[in-house]
Structure 1
């Protein structure tokens, strides 16, 4: 997808892969609530992505693979997860491809209690102190340190060894750097500190969105290997790096088997259900074009002022069904609609109606008062939704945050739309 060339100024010719955050067998919660969800494919996606990485390493004939932490999501429930990972490492070993690993917060030595011996060509860096592996035949020195436990508040980098002169030096580190949205702070450091080591490449892990933090030296988060939910969108994969003639060429290679999307479709002015379905179908097709034959999981947000706001209020579920119908019309791609969120508004002049002295105006003013008062909003939701919440399965109750004010305001808006539709003639 992307080519970037730097001058490294070091001898040697070799290729390597840098990946991180595999989260093999990461649990996917709540899928049973989605009718028609491709549960097994989603659950096996992290495994298939690792298989893709190994296939790439073999096809590209790389000399080594760097895995920068969080191979696993948590302690293994049994040995199947570890055996699968080991099997993939054996495939690499048969092709004489070395593997270097630093453990992160999810797979720290104090977190994973079960253990399997890894093949001799797989090196897991010590958690006690940073160490160096010298690949003299390639002119490469790899430096790294694993997490001893999940919580690592200190900066490891000042204790990393100095660069070996005349070698291509790589640092491996699982870190949040100076912080990233949605990620806890672990082994914090900064670019200036990384530069003090004199390395040519920093292979980082922990942040799930790919980011090239610096070009000289090259400092990279490859992102996770496989998106696991709707907040981990877009291509996921690894860095394929070639060093030849003093030049470094780095290329991102997508390896995900399920690609997550968040898609917003504006329905402003759309008056009929048929028109809406066509508009959504076009948007879905554009979202997945050129993304290969993988499964696409989409969370769709419908927005805008449209008479379909009233249609939905009168017959809840109409627009969600329209989205699923639109997905069926997209040729040449496999789509699964994970969720449909509605942020629609009626085309009526709500402000004008609220100024009246009838029942509609009173309703609108009450809604505004509730939306502006968090305590009143929570009290209303508890009273209005109590019976519904009581009937929900335990799993849904655990995942429902009834203190989320934005979600409650959306619920209130839905209630308003339903009441206005039932009053008739007001919208």
Structure 2
């Protein structure tokens, strides 16, 4: 038999990080999660799978309107017409307490209850699926302990939305351990909640398929689901299938061998073209970070805006229909050691001494905060949470800002001289 295991679809969740840019693919951003789900259903039909499992976070909280539910029903109707059942478990984002709107689903869709573990049996396939949906968002109890024992003679699948233990980047919902899952006696665990692909083998095959579509630059690289094949002896084979319709990438460019801005831009352009060597038909949204000790550091200092426009020009040459820019960051370092500059006995050395003292100069910090505070106050709240420097300005702690800027300023002046 074959089945598809997916999770963390987050239907109609917005993609963040591009919408403010004039060249952003607005239509693709709005429909990316839906488009990816349609591709998933296409793949299920093409593979003629026996069933599909969705292990939580099908939705992204309560629908803004009924269109989200209507879209899901339409896609489930496509599977119903070819005889493919779907087993859905609700996680923290689509828990009973989170959903204020509901629609009657096609009868090929089976949803796990939230009050206690529930088992669905498919006698024709000899498969038993065990699962429990979330009743409220913050389930902190170990749900595995309540799951029933395996049914003898059946291929037993446990469906669970969980952080396991040790995934600090994900809220610790329904925590459990790999050993507990293996000890349950099931043959396969279809997990959800963690957005990265993970697989463990043993008495049971345990899989996080990752999320279906990356929604921001923190969810980089190929995204999708898994196609699981089980032979007559019960051996399990897991194949990743990539479903994403827009992919986020983080391109790190080492500028150590670059002499100036022009060479940095050229190297970035080469890196962007390389991104499209794999799955070139999938559009990319890229964050670019320029690193390394480089002679170009002084010229790059304070030129994030110019570098961004240079990169946009490179992207325009490659093709805006396949590649968009999320952000450019400059994290280079000067080749000239600031400590050696201290040996000079001139005004340049005096400036370095002033900058060294500036971070702890109370009066200077107050004056600088007074200048920057109005700009910080006008910054949108969602941006403030993404840029720690804004919060530092609000609190009046500018030491990190000064420490970051001083080396670049000195390198820029030294190069200009």
TM-score by length of 1: 0.88
Distance 2:411 2:132 in 1: 62
Q: Give the equivalent residue in structure 1 for 2:13.
A: 26
Matched, 1:99 2:86: yes
Does the CA-based 8 Å contact 2:159-2:189 persist in structure 1?
A: yes
CA spacing shift, 1:31–1:280, aligned 2, 3 Å: closer
Whole-angstrom CA distance in 2 between matches of 1:404 and 1:230: 23
SS at match of 2:179: helix
CA spacing shift, 1:411–1:30, aligned 2, 3 Å: farther
Give the 3 Å change call, closer, same or farther, for CA 169–377 of structure 1 in structure 2.
farther
Range with greater deviation from structure 2 (264-273 or 17-26):
264-273
* Aligned mate of 2:169, from 166, 182, 186: 182
Q: Distance in 1 between matches of 2:362 and 2:53?
A: 51
Higher RCO, Cα 8 Å, sep 6+: 1
How many residues align structurally? 412
SS at 2:301 equivalent: helix
Which among 229, 234, 248 is matched to residue 216 of structure 2?
229
Which residue of structure 1 lines up, in the alignment, with residue 42 of structure 2? 55
Query: Which of these residues, 285, 288, 296, is aligned with residue 276 of structure 2?
Result: 288
What do you get for the CA RMSD once the two structures are aligned? 2.9
- CA drift at 1:277: 2.5
For 1:299, the equivalent position in structure 2 comes to 287
The answer for unaligned runs of 5 or more in structure 2 is none
CA displacement at 1:173 relative to structure 2: 0.1
- CA distance 1:393–1:249, shift in 2 (3 Å): closer
Corresponding position of 1:341: 329
Residues 357 and 22 of structure 1: CA distance in aligned 2, closer, same or farther (over 3 Å)? same
Pairing of 1:227-306 with structure 2 (within 5 A): 227-246=214-233, 247-306=235-294
**Partner SS for 2:201:** strand
- Give unpaired runs (5+ residues) of structure 1: 1-13
Q: Distance in 1 between matches of 2:34 and 2:87?
A: 19
SS at match of 1:403: helix
Structure 1 pair 389/103, CA: closer, same or farther in 2 (3 Å)?
A: same
When residues 273 and 130 of structure 1 are mapped into structure 2, their CA distance, relative to the original with a 3 A threshold, is: same
User: Are the counterparts in 2 of residues 145 and 172 from structure 1 also a CA contact under 8 Å?
Assistant: yes
Contact 1:271 1:306 in 2 (8 A): yes
Q: Deviations along 1:116-157, whole A, 9 cap, x unmatched? A: 111111011010110111100001011110000001111011
The verdict on how the C-alpha distance between 1:313 and 1:260 changes in structure 2, with shifts beyond 3 A counting, is same
More off after superposition, 150-159 vs 283-292: 283-292
CA-to-partner distance for each residue in 1:356-386, whole Å, 9 max, x for gaps?
4544334434544566x69999867634422
Q: Does 1:171 align with 2:158?
A: yes
1:86 CA drift (Å): 1.4
8 Å contact from structure 1 (residues 110, 148) kept in 2: yes
Q: Normalization by structure 2: what TM-score?
A: 0.90
SS of residue paired to 2:372? helix
Partner of 1:10: none
**CA shift in 2, pair 1:232/1:200, >3 Å:** same
CA change 1:68–1:99 in 2 (3 A) is same
Q: Report the equivalent of 2:312.
A: 324
In structure 2, the residue matched to 1:3 is none
2:122 to 135, 154, 160: 135
Does residue 400 of structure 2 align to residue 409 of structure 1?
A: yes
**2:212 and 2:244 in contact (8 A); partners too:** yes
Q: Alignment partner of 1:289: what SS? A: coil
